[in-house]
């Protein structure tokens, strides 16, 4: 069904608790997965990654398949998330970026001028054959378990490009946004096109849902987010296909950290599911987003480092508060911390299933 891949892949998983919860339909039990479920918390991940740079690993279909499957095998989570990174579309297009362990993405030549924006290479769909191959393999290996595809949202990618690496305040990014509105518009448009191509490739190859990560959007006021960022994130979702025209479509999850004030807008950008960090309880988040959305979240990742009694009480609270939403996908409020005991993750999967089983 795709102009971008010449071999038809296995039939994608269209129905699952993840998809049902995302669309607000009845579930067998609350689906649960974890942001960064594949990664350094798992010894089997550290073993297969040894000797391969992060962004190399992301372009190797064998490694992508193996690492994506690891948390599904170990924890019995209700969804796999593609092993990749938000900067990968930029790297594939030819931008010089490295992921430094313990630091994050570092950009060799940060985008600081209008000319830098115009010089950014565009991602070509033909550059993503490795991705189509990896998703086809994953979909057939996963069987009934849905695969979540993902991309970084234009704003969060712009922060890495402009700052040159991770930053706390994102001051250079905001300064560029205010001082160069036209170049900002062109930059975010470019990033939205490459994110859409990256996501569309995953959906065409058989991903059952997508998540758009706008991890750092919470640093913006609602007014700036609405005027200067949201239209570009909406363009990414729009690039996924036309629901009204009956094109193949999958549920859309939209997530950022510290977005308490932005929650209604995060939904409005075109999501079915609004991801919530640990700062806003899910019953309050449900009020903020309104009735048309499911919620994903929002256990504090640090709670996985606490004692079992505390962990269990917090999981119970999140499951209870999640009942206020149209549908609930259990997750953390942000990614798994590297020193998390994998046993605690498996325990949470079992507990969420037990607490939410339909009798
Ligand atoms: O969730 C998953 O299991 C899927 C894989 C995934 C990775 N990165 C793998 C990864 C996903 C969804 C991402 C998205 C991503 N990457 C985001 C958005 C999500 C979020 O956390 O807010 C962001 C901001 C990035 C940028 C990035 N890449 C950071 C901040 C880091 C961590 C740097 C560090 O070492 O602390 C990375 C590297 C990265 N991405 C790792 C993994 C497993 C660690 C690489 C390693 O093993 O050394």
Q: What is the pLDDT of residues 299-349, one digit of tens each?
A: 999 999 999 999 999 999 999 999 999 999 999 999 999 999 999 999 999
Q: State if residue 49 touches ligand 1 by the CB under 6 angstroms criterion.
A: yes
Q: How far is CA 318 from CA 256, 311, 325, 328, 355, in A?
A: 18, 11, 11, 10, 11
For residue 67, being part of any structural domain is answered with yes
**Would you tell me how many other CB atoms lie within 10 Å of the CB of residue 123?**
25
Please tell me if the CB atom of residue 54 comes closer than 6 angstroms to any atom of ligand 1: yes
143 lines ligand 1 (CB under 6 A): no
User: Helix 181-205 to helix 171-179 angle, to the nearest 10 degrees?
Assistant: 110
3-state secondary structure of 69: helix
Classified as helix, coil or strand, 286 is helix
Q: Is residue 23 part of a domain?
A: yes
pLDDT at 9: 79
Residue 294 domain boundaries: 17-356
Give the span between the Cα atoms of 197 and 190, in whole angstroms: 11
User: How many angstroms does the Cα of residue 357 sit away from the middle of ligand 1?
Assistant: 31
pTM of the model as a whole: 0.96
pLDDT(97) > 60: yes
Contact 210, 150 (CB under 8 A): yes
Q: Would you say residue 6 lies in a domain?
A: no
Q: Is residue 2 part of a domain?
A: no
Give the residue from 250, 43, 236 showing the smallest Cα distance to 148. 250
Neighbouring C-beta atoms of residue 136, cutoff 10 Å? 19
Residues 110-167: pLDDT tens digits?
Answer: 999 999 999 999 999 999 999 999 999 999 999 999 999 999 999 999 999 999 999 9
**Helix H or strand E segment including 318:** helix 308-322
Which residues, in sequence order, are CB contacts of 359 under 8 Å at separation 6+? none
Bridge-based pairing of strands 252-255 and 273-275 is: parallel
Do 258 and 277 touch, CB atoms closer than 8 A?
yes
For this complex, say whether ipTM is above 0.90. Answer: yes
Cβ atoms of 136 and 206 closer than 8 Å: yes
Asked whether the predicted pLDDT for residue 13 surpasses 80, the reply is no
Report yes or no on 244 lying in a domain.
yes
Asked if 317 and 306 touch (Cβ cutoff 8 Å), the reply is no
Task: Please indicate, yes or no, if residue 259 is contained in any of the structural domains.
Answer: yes
Binding-site positions for substrate read: 36-40, 85, 160, 215, 334
Q: Is residue 5 part of a domain?
A: no
Identify the CATH number of the domain in which residue 253 sits.
3.20.20.210
Check residue 4 and give its pLDDT: 41
Structure tokens at 353: 């299933």
Mark the binding-site residues, compressed into ranges: 36-40, 85, 160, 215, 334
Q: How many domains is the chain partitioned into structurally?
A: 1
Residue 338 three-state SS: coil
- Determine, yes or no, domain membership for 61: yes
Catalytic residues: 36, 40, 49, 85, 160
């Amino acid at each position: 069904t795709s102009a971008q891949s010449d071999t038809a892949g296995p039939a994608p998983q269209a129905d699952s608790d993840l998809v049902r919860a995302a669309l607000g339909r009845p579930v067998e039990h609350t689906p649960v997965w974890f942001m960064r479920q594949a990664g350094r918390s798992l010894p089997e991940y550290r073993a297969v990654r040894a000797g391969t740079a992060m962004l190399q690993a992301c372009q190797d279909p064998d490694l992508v398949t193996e690492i994506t499957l690891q948390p599904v095998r170990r924890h019995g989570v209700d969804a796999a998330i593609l092993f990749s990174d938000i900067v990968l579309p930029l790297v594939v297009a030819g931008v010089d970026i490295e992921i430094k362990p313990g630091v994050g993405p570092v950009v060799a030549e940060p985008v600081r001028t209008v000319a830098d924006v115009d010089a950014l290479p565009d991602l070509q769909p033909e550059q993503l054959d490795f991705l189509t191959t990896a998703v086809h393999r994953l979909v057939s290996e996963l069987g009934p378990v849905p695969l979540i595809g993902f991309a970084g949202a234009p704003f969060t990618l712009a922060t890495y490009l402009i700052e040159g690496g991770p930053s706390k305040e994102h001051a250079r990014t905001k300064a560029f946004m205010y001082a160069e509105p036209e170049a900002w518009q062109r930059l975010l448009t470019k990033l939205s096109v490459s994110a859409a191509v990256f996501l569309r490739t995953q959906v065409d190859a058989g991903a059952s849902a997508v998540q758009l990560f706008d991890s750092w959007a919470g640093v913006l006021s609602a007014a700036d987010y609405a005027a200067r960022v949201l239209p570009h994130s909406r363009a990414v979702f729009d690039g996924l296909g036309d629901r009204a025209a009956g094109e193949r479509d999958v549920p859309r999850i939209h997530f950022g950290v510290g977005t308490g004030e932005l929650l209604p807008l995060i939904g409005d950008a075109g999501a079915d599911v609004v991801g919530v960090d640990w700062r806003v309880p899910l019953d309050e988040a449900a009020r903020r987003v309104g009735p048309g959305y499911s919620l994903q979240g929002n256990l504090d990742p640090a709670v996985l480092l606490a004692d079992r009694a505390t962990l269990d009480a917090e999981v119970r609270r999140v499951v209870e508060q999640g009942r206020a939403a149209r549908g609930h996908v259990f997750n953390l409020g942000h990614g798994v911390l590297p020193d998390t005991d994998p046993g605690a993750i498996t325990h949470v999967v079992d507990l969420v299933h037990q607490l939410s089983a339909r009798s």
